[in-house]
Amino acid sequence: MFLLDFLVPRHCAFCGVLAIHDERNICVNCFDDLPWHETAISPTPGILECSIAMLHYEFPVDVAIKALKFNRRLFYAPAFAEVLCAANPHLPTDIDAVLPVPLHWRRKMRRGFNQASELAKPVADALNVEQLRGVDRCKATPYQSGLKAFERRRNLRRAFTVRKQLQHKHVLIIDDVVTTGTTLSELAKVLLRNGAEKVSALTVASAR
Ligand SMILES: [Zn+2]
């Protein structure tokens, strides 16, 4: 924690209530009121060892995620990281690396940050594992919303590359929203082809 964190009072990202010294940027009431999935663990498409989505993609989560991504409302990131960390008791115990879904460099440059990286850092710290480096998005895929499953798969073919053989055995992919799961499974396939033995996924919300 930086000195500034002690000096600047923090406000809840959702209701604005003052939450002094609270690093999470979300007050207890708003945290409890989020649209939590009753069971966070989703049925996993074969390729993933375990797939967890914490929240329903509905108000206020949808608005907040869009504000984070497209309007640089970065104060939502610690709040959603806290949501992801609530999954810890349900995660497999042999995870040894965390990987935010990579953004293509051009999109990252335009946006200024990768929202998945902002979410992944606190999760890696909480699990005491490192963030995986050297996985890139080499294809600037168009926005996937509104596309059919086969169109998403076609867009994502060969979208990710791994620079060198992975040393980690069980990689946890982090993303903000899962819709059809195509991005997660395409990324998982690449990791499995390059040395990972198992891949799991953890997302803030699912729009299914
Ligand atoms: Zn609040």
| Residue-range domain boundaries for the chain | 36-206
Q: 13: CA distance to ligand 1 center in Å?
A: 7
Q: Predicted confidence band at 9 (pLDDT cuts at 50, 70, 90)? A: low
Instruction: Quote the pLDDT of residue 137.
Output: 92
Please write down the HEC assignment for all residues of the chain.
Answer: CCHHHHHCCCECCCCCCECCCCCCCCCHHHHHHCCECCCCEECCCCCCCCEEEEEECCCCHHHHHHHHHHCCCCCHHHHHHHHHHCCHHHCCCCCCEEEECCCCHHHHHHHCCCHHHHHHHHHHHHHCCEECCCEEECCCCCCCCCCCHHHHHHHHCCCEEECCCCCCCEEEEEEEEECCCHHHHHHHHHHHHCCCCEEEEEEEEECC
Distance 25 CA to ligand 1 centre (A): 8
Dump pLDDT digits (tens) for 106-115. 888 888 999 9
Reported as a single tens digit per residue, the pLDDT across 51-100 is 999 999 999 999 999 999 999 999 999 999 999 999 999 999 999 999 99
CATH no. of 36-206: 3.40.50
Q: What's the gap in Å between 12 CA and the centre of ligand 1?
A: 5
Average pLDDT for the chain: 88
* Cα(192) to centroid(ligand 1), Å: 40
* Ligand 1 midpoint to CA 147 (Å): 34
Give the pTM.
0.89
Residues with CB under 5 Å of ion ligand 1 are 12, 14-15, 17, 27, 30
The whole-number pLDDT of residue 151 equals 77
Task: Say how many Å lie between the CA of residue 19 and the centre of ligand 1.
Answer: 8
